[in-house]
Chains A and B, each alone.
Chain A
Amino acid sequence: MASQIITAFGAVIAGVFACALYYWLSDKLLQVAFPVRVGDPRRASSNLRAHAVIRPWLFLGPALLLLLVYLVYPVISTFILSFYDRSGGNFVGLANYRWAIGDEQFRQSIFNNILWLAVVPAACTFLGLVIAVLTDRIWWGNIAKSLVFMPMAISFVGASVIWKFIYEFRGGEEAQIGLLNAVVQFFGGDPQVWIALPFWNNFFLMAILIWIQTGFAMVILSAALRGIPEETIEAAVIDGANGWQIFWKIMVPQIWGTIAVVWTTITILVLKVFDIVLTMTNGQWNSMVLANLMFDWMFRGGGDSGRSAVIALVIMAAVTPIMIWNIRQASEDRGGH
């Protein structure tokens, strides 16, 4: 155990040292290959130009290499694999796509994903906005914000354990130790195995993600609310608007951009939701989502890279519009120097 910690720290030191050495050495090499402090000013200036051409690539090199190997190449490779059979050896054309369209479980996953997309981003944004407005009005608002924000630090698996305990069901005469069933029983209802109720179980899983992500929405929206110019509110007050009108007609329209960012960020997260479903139900009782189906096919019966790739591509396709929008936004406000 101790040796493993030492290995980890060794790796940190070695990794950082290797990186530093790379940047330092490559810079030194550049200086040696194209010396600047030479007698001939024409040579010196042409060498300086060479520095300007080469140096960006030395700086970018390691990052670009990692991005190429771990993200760009795999995206292309996954696309190609989707046209091949389970082992990736034989070209099968559109067979995997045809399989997906006809597959019951795949359709179920698409349906569930759409359900998640419809509920979670909306719920997080709405709750986040409400909590942001409320906490900004009281002196202990920052403490309250911290508490709501805290689940963001918790892993999806940890959160699943926490919520599985809330949904716990005890049969027969045993006392209910799950909070939800105890509350239901207290009000005279019948305890249920919540995560095994087809269709409705989706919502019990969504509650976990909403619990985690509302804090994120709250923090961002709270910052945006504080950025609203004071004059707009005062003008509305003078015109006799009440609090409700000011909130919906003056404040919300001014932070639409931020609301959109929060919404899309959570949308991307929802499309990739995996850990929660894996640990809560593993896709049983009709709760399967795309990311879990994809993982399932990666290893099911020795793995089927073709089908798995098709499912990954569906997730990718759903993300693409957001990706294009992001790129547009980023290139608009690119503060170039």
Chain B
Amino acid sequence: MSAVASLRRIGLPRLIVHVSVLLICILWMIPTIGIFVTSFREAGQIASSGWWTAFTGAAETSAARLGDPSTARQDGPNYVISGSVFDDQGAGPNGSVQAYGTRVAAPTEFAAGEEADLGDGEKLIVNDDGSYTYTKNGPFDDKRGKRVYLSVTQPPSFTLDNYRTVLTAQGIGQSFVNSLTVAIPATIIPILISAFAAYALSWMHFPGRTIIIAVVVGLIVVPLQMSLIPLLTMYNNIGAFFGVPSRSYVGIWLAHAAFGMPLAIYLLRNYIAGLPKEVIESARVDGASDFEIFVKIVLPLSFPALASFAIFQFLWTWNDLLVAMVLLGTGKDQLVLTGALNALLGSMGGKWEILTASAFISILVPIIVFFALQRYLVRGLLAGSVKGG
């Protein structure tokens, strides 16, 4: 029985624990649920009501102008303006009018369908479908259309249009491909390189091994910021010298591979050094070379560690913004998802239908990887951290 289990016998009442964990879970999920729900709502609804009302269709207050007095037609002694309040943008998308009013202080003075006597010979009726009739017993003398305040309920409505828009018009589809182009090679290429190095550092004897291990451990925490300026200069020089673009996929693959290398070597070395000594010794006695031992014994046995590292590296390269901003271009064919999202935040400020759908596309792949391979992720974290302590 674990220590925690014995604490259970004497600890807090169980119910409080259940409730607080539930609250924590809700608190942690709400932000993500917020953008998930929002990304399926129509632009107008997003702007006029909170996402938490998406399923209930809560009433929202808005304002609209009735038709211009010049559109009034004469009907006997009366003048009539008619139409739909939803013809005006200010009213928001079509919905069901619950109530209306003509003063901002009393936006729900009259129920929908009820005739309002506005005095001065004016009468107004707004129906729940938004159609209205505005009558006066003489010509209208206002210059602009009359302002009315509305309480409108929107039926819950969901759409895939936002995703259609961002994937094509906003270039998120292309950026998705760009992100894959960066992340896949940048994940796989360093694995073999670091595995060979980790083997050499755990099972081979040579002068300088201790120092190399210390340097690798030290390099794990070196901030990327230290590398960026010289690398940018170096890439520019290489580009100018060979007449090739200085910002290329090859450049970022190598950079990501190198930045992930210290942690990769450290994680894999911890694992490979822990493999049973007898297996490797007996292979040596049988005359196998280090190369054969590595390929035939160590590599297959290290699969869990390799998987852990691959997940880290994939999440890191997929989610990276800084390296891509410095070493990769911002053109259509090179802008990664994080970069595209950052650009949209600048240019599409309040357009949440675009931002939420884009954000959800960008977090979809890491979340799938996370839930599918969580076991390896946790194992890698523990190997990297607890062992160091």
Contacts and interface: CB of A to CB of B under 8 A. Distances in A.
B177 A275 contact: no
Nearest to B176: A1
Interface in A272-330: 272, 274-275, 278-279, 291, 294-295, 298, 305, 308-309, 311-313, 315-316, 319, 322-324, 326-327, 329-330
Contact of A23 (B196, B370, B371): B196
Given A158-B362, A161-B359, A134 B192 contact: no
A12 B189 contact: yes
B366 A330 contact: no
Interface in B342-385: 342, 345, 350, 352, 355-356, 358-359, 362-363, 366-367, 369-371, 374, 378, 381-382, 385
A114 B217 CA distance: 25
Interface in B150-171: none
A155 B321 contact: yes
Contacts of A4: 177-178, 181, 333
B89 interface: no
Contact of A265 (B177, B194, B385): B385
A190 interface: no
Interface stretch (A73-81, A91-99, A105-113): A73-81
B3 A225 contact: yes
B285 interface: no
A131 B21 CA distance: 7
B51 to A, nearest CB: 7
A241 B367 CA distance: 42
Nearest to A148: B28
- Size band of the interface chain B makes with A: 35 or more
B31 A155 contact: no
Interface in B301-352: 315, 318-322, 325-326, 333, 337-338, 341-342, 345, 350, 352
Given A144-B21, A162-B35, A305-B229, 16 more contacts: A59-B290, A67-B219, A70-B254, A133-B4, A137-B4, A147-B28, A153-B315, A165-B34, A220-B381, A229-B3, A260-B389, A261-B389, A312-B223, A312-B228, A330-B217, A336-B273
6 interchain residue pairs of minimum CB distance: A70-B258, A155-B319, A63-B197, A153-B370, A257-B389, A59-B200
Interface of A: 1, 4-5, 7-9, 11-12, 15-16, 19-20, 23-24, 27, 51-53, 55-57, 59-60, 62-64, 66-67, 69-75, 77-78, 81, 88, 131, 133-138, 141, 144, 146-166, 168, 173-179, 182, 211, 214, 216, 219-220, 223-226, 228-230, 232-234, 237, 242-243, 246-247, 251, 257-258, 260-262, 265, 268, 271-272, 274-275, 278-279, 291, 294-295, 298, 305, 308-309, 311-313, 315-316, 319, 322-324, 326-327, 329-331, 333-337
